[in-house]
Amino acid sequence: METLKGKNILITGATGGIGSETARLLKVSGANLFLTGRNAAKLQQVASDCNVTTENTFALDISNGAAVDELKKKYFQQLPTIDILINAAGIGIIKTMETLDEQDFLRSLNYNLYAPFLLLKAFLPAMKELKKGLIINIPGVLGKVPMAGAAAYSASKYGLVGLMQSVREELKRTDIRITNLFLGGVDSPFWDNIDLRVQRDKMINTEEAAKAIWFLCQQPASGVVSEMVLQPFNHQAI
């Protein structure tokens, strides 16, 4: 496994349960981190907890193209290269077609599909210059299997999988790797505002989900983990 010491890593969604735990593990492993999130106060708290300087953080709406351009500028002011991009940002809108409206649907696409596209456009060229890098996405199991009430969410995540698989084909002559992590139910703030009866005590905790990402960041240079599935033992959808 590759060492993480000295690796330059961008984590989007660092204020979420999975993102913050991932940041903690990677920092302890000696990585140089740049953290983003929507909520500036939460972002500074995570940065403080992980001993990341304020200069290596940027609060933004990740679905805003101009904001992502500014993120790119600020990132490369602090770190010379990008070794790993972790797309941990996203939103979960779980509604039936009867209650799902156009705004909900477009928000799902903007944050879960359009935002990763913007990040690719911003940071993939730097990886191409060095012909190496790693991009980790978290489509979740609903990017692989359907669920009633998840039309908008699954549409965005299926789209993310298709986007990344196509880009992977374009990168075959480089050492840039793309990994999709299909997480099942994770007990995180994701579920706080979702009106769905779930057994959160049976879910994967955020620490275990973060350990999966930490593991994927250490893939050997000679190979790639294209996909990983991690789901609750008693609720296997795949």
What residues act catalytically? 153
For the chain, percent helix, then strand, then coil, each to nearest 5? 45, 20, 35
8: β partners:
32
Contacting residues for 195 by C-beta, under 8 A, at least 6 apart = 94
Helix (H) or strand (E) segment spanning residue 132: strand 132-137
Residues 109, 116: Cα–Cα separation, whole Å = 10
Amino acid at 72: K
Of 35, 19, 127, residue with least CA distance to 82: 127
Determine how β-strand 8-12 pairs with β-strand 84-87. parallel
Find out whether 78 and 55 touch, Cβ atoms under 8 Å: yes
Alpha carbons 180 and 164: distance in angstroms, whole number:
8
Q: By three-state DSSP, how is residue 211 classified?
A: helix
